[in-house]
Amino acid sequence: AQSVTQLGSHVSVSEGALVLLRCNYSSSVPPYLFWYVQYPNQGLQLLLKYTSAATLVKGINGFEAEFKKSETSFHLTKPSAHMSDAAEYFCAVSGNTGGFKTIFGAGTRLFVKA
Amino acid sequence: GAGVSQSPSNKVTEKGKDVELRCDPISGHTALYWYRQSLGQGLEFLIYFQGNSAPDKSGLPSDRFSAERTGGSVSTLTIQRTQQEDSAVYLCASSFWTGNTGELFFGEGSRLTVL
């Protein structure tokens, strides 16, 4: 079965600092991996996705993630945090096992301090 | 409509009552998904539809939960004899059928509170 583990339910950074949100996955087949963001009182929206093309994936709002098969990781980064990045971030995986469904991690809430 | 629409946005009910939650997906999206979001629990998969069929309903927590989709469009999630542990935000998402690589478009959710 596929699964996703997000390390750290809460991450706090200062404005302008590096953002690093960690995600590790488990999958017996090459996975498709996603990061979604949920701003307060809004629905989830896609930040970026990996679908077996380039291992470094660029998304919206300056975020990027790197697929590392050897580490089964798909960490999300942004060089310089902005106050507007404060939100909850979800890593997700889908693949051919377990049917065509996307499995989400528990989420990481990002706080940005002025 | 332009996005996924869910109703009601908020529902407060008494334990033991039945509730219906509605999802209107983006026009043309053949796949529709229901998730449950509880505080600190992330998104829990409930069921997904391809057209009007539900190939995977493995996430439904109990036989009190059921869902249907008609006309390849609107879906209804029904919870019978609600319990306090059913309190959560129920999220609906839709996508073009592109297998596993498709982006999910989410509604804003229906917040259910069972007293």
Provide the pLDDT for residue A10.
Answer: 95
Task: Output the six-digit token pair for B6.
Answer: 């869910």
User: What is the reported pLDDT for B86?
Assistant: 96
A107 touches chain B (CB under 8 A): yes
On whether the CB atoms of residues B69 and B81 are closer than 8 A, the answer is no
pLDDT of A97: 55
- B46 CB neighbours in chain A (<8 A) are none
- Residue A112: pLDDT over 90: yes
What pLDDT is stored for residue B101 in this prediction? 67
Amino acid at residue number B70:
T
Q: Where residue B90 falls among pLDDT bands split at 50, 70, 90?
A: very high
- Residue A102 pLDDT: 86
Question: A43 and B108 in contact by Cβ < 8 A?
Answer: yes
Q: What is the pLDDT of residues A55-74, one digit of tens each?
A: 899 999 999 999 998 999 99
Judging contacts by C-beta atoms under 8 Å, the chain B residues touching residue A101 are: 33, 45, 48, 56, 59
Question: What percentage of residues in chain B have a pLDDT greater than 90?
Answer: 70
Per-residue confidence (pLDDT) for residue B106, from 0 to 100: 94
B33 and A CB contact within 8 Å: yes
The pLDDT, as a whole number, for residue A27 is: 77
What's B69's DSSP letter? E
Question: What integer best gives the mean pLDDT of chain B?
Answer: 91
**If phi over 0 gives left and psi between -120 and 50 gives alpha, with beta otherwise, what is residue A62?**
left
* Whether B49 contacts B60, CB under 8 Å: no
**Sequence-ordered list of residues with C-beta below 8 angstroms from that of A112, at least 6 positions apart, any chain:** A12, A13, A14, A15, A81, A82, A83, A85, A86
Min Cα–Cα distance to chain B from A87, Å = 14
A76-105 tens-digit pLDDT:
999 999 999 999 999 998 865 555 678 899
Supply φ then ψ for residue A47, to 5 degrees.
-90, -50
Dihedral sign, Cα of residue B115, residue B76, residue B7, residue A47: positive
The pLDDT tens digits of the residues spanning A19-53 come to: 999 999 987 777 889 999 999 888 899 999 988 77
The string of pLDDT tens digits covering residues B40-80 is 678 999 998 988 998 888 899 999 999 999 988 999 999 99
Can you tell me which residue has the tokens 């509170």? Answer: B113
Structure tokens at A45: 């929206």
Q: Does B42 contact A44 at a Cβ distance shorter than 8 Å?
A: no
Q: How far apart are CA B42 and CA A85, in angstroms?
A: 19
User: Is the pLDDT at B114 greater than 90, yes or no?
Assistant: yes
Q: What is the pLDDT at residue A51?
A: 81
Question: Which chain B residue has the Cα nearest residue A93?
Answer: B100
